[in-house]
Structure 1
Amino acid sequence: MPKFIDLSHTFKDRMPGFKLKNEDDSYTQYTSEIKPFLTHEQSLPKFDGKASFEITEISFQTSVGTYLDSPYHRYSDNRDISNIRIDEVILPGEVIDVRYKEAFEPLGCEALPKNINVNGKAVLFNFGWDQYWGEETYYSYPYISKELVRYLISQGAKLVGVDTLNIDNANDLYRPAHTLFLEKDILIVENLTGLEKLYNNEFRFFAVPWKAEKVAALPIRAFAEIIE
């Protein structure tokens, strides 16, 4: 039997997301709202009391939960989520243990094991930050340096994932990881969880979104299939 590892946070009502700073120093909180559009009780008369169904309504910004960024997220003329091919989001993976990093600390090329081959792969960085999910600490996170971004591009990585709120330093308005990765069609996954379960395993990483047109990013059910 195949073994699968779930790497996604549960998508739920009022889940945490980005805090986007406004010009007046206030913040806009990204989140989700989940509520019944039609309840079992409301639908029962429509089926003459013989059956009932709930229809659920969900409203959210697409950059919440465990999600995938398309190139369109950064570049208005580049591919959106609907143009992401299946073979781009089902990839052999490598997980890198970087749980020694602290808040606001950049991650450089020294983090990569010697002789690692990332060509054509999903490279997932386990900062261990998922332990702070839902807490204020989650908003103060380590990030990938421009040096490491450029190296991963040069080595042919196809997707880069993190278990933090943002792959970039929030104080760097250039956003080098998003700017450079997405320019090269290297996809980004943020807010992963449970990456430590992948250690010492060969695996395939799945990050498949809906086929949604004119959408820049989208929550996914990220998971790994362990190859034995």
Structure 2
Amino acid sequence: MLQYRAEFDATVTFSNGGGLQAQGFRVDVPSADTTEAEISALFLAACRLLLVDTVALSGVRIFADPHLGTPGGPSEPGRRWIELSHVISAGMTTYPGLPGPEITPHLTREASRGVYAPGTEFAIDRITMVGNTGTYLDSPFHRYGDGTDLAGIPLERLVDLPAVVVRTIGGGARGVDVPALEGRSVAGRAVLLHTGGDAHWATPGYAVDAPYLTGAGAQWLIDNGAALVGIDAVNIDDTGPDAAGARPAHTLLLGAGIPIVEHLTGLANLPPAGGRFTAAPPRVAAFGTFPVRAYASVPATEPHGPVPGGRLPASGA
């Protein structure tokens, strides 16, 4: 069976400043039609790079050649999992002004002992909450009465989506606009906006001057075929007083059938490409928004923590 390698030049920029270049780098790839996004992820894994903002490849050449075991390549199968959800607890505030969840017992362990056989006990608990609790997904029904509800969103819009991380953290601008998105391949992908807004989670500052996606940015994502859009901030729209209640990102994205995930966290742990994103809510009919367990998988050899910048060898393995 033929095995393949990719050779390319790469330019990398880091979200905390600086960058590096590589010429004639080679990595093992799974097939002759491996995409540039997949090659980028294998490259980052091979170099143990984190805090990456952008990766640009040029001169990509895929050729038949035996695998040499580059980190993250096909010779090292397996994935690891990255948590992207906030924990839900009784009384917590997700969105200022909305009630926190109430978690109470329906059947206590003590009471259950009179129901089951000796030595057997269970706890059954009750949770009362609004759909906008914790990390949650908006379906089109959230915005439009005739839109698709939670029960109707197809799994291919929610599960194991190739992820593109757009990092604007530290850029100084609140609004994620078209220039931050241009040049990225987003068709069929979950576009995750890493703004750093989650640093203020569970504090009064979380909703103050929070990052958001502009209407023009939302339209660009629609025009370029994004499958899902997520953000690590209080809302995907500007909720400040100057917005006067307008919600262009919700209106455009949900109108185009694109689910939205708000209140993500942990996006700093994802590479700019190569991750797989999942955020699936329960199938609740006639309901627009519900908490999700959002997470991503990355190659098992992807580094677990920040790696200091440094020189990259001129050629890979």
Give CA deviations for 1:36-69 in whole Å, capped at 9, x if unaligned.
1111111112225431110010010001110000
| TM-score relative to the length of structure 1 | 0.90
Structure 2: tracts of 5 or more residues without a match:
1-77, 301-317
Q: 1:189 aligned to 2:256?
A: no
Aligned residue number for residue 167 of structure 2: 97
Runs of 4+ in 1 over 6 A off after TM superposition: none
Give 1:102 deviation, angstroms. 5.2
User: Per the alignment, do residues 181 and 201 of structure 1 end up closer, same or farther by CA in structure 2, a change over 3 Å counting?
Assistant: closer
Match of 2:196 among 128, 142, 156: 128
Amino-acid identity (%)? 37
Counterpart position of 1:13: 90
Checking the alignment, whether the CA contact within 8 Å between 1:33 and 1:60 is kept in structure 2 is yes
**Match of residue 290 from structure 2:** 218
1:150 aligns with 2:219: yes
- Structure 2 counterpart of 1:35, from 89, 104, 109: 104
| RMSD over equivalenced CA pairs, Å | 1.6
Contact 1:102 1:142 survives alignment (8 Å): no
The unaligned stretches of length 5 or more in structure 1 are 20-27
Q: In the alignment, which residue of structure 2 is the partner of 1:166?
A: 235
The answer to whether 1:177 aligns with 2:254 is no
Alignment of 1:39-118 (within 5 A): 39-90=108-159, 91-101=161-171, 105-112=174-181, 115-118=183-186
- Alpha-carbon deviation of 1:195? 0.3
Structure 1: distance between partners of 2:117 and 2:226: 56
Structure of greater Rg: 2
Does the 8 Å CA contact 1:201/1:226 hold for their aligned counterparts? no
Q: Which moved more, 1:40-49 or 1:4-13?
A: 40-49
Pairs aligned (count): 218
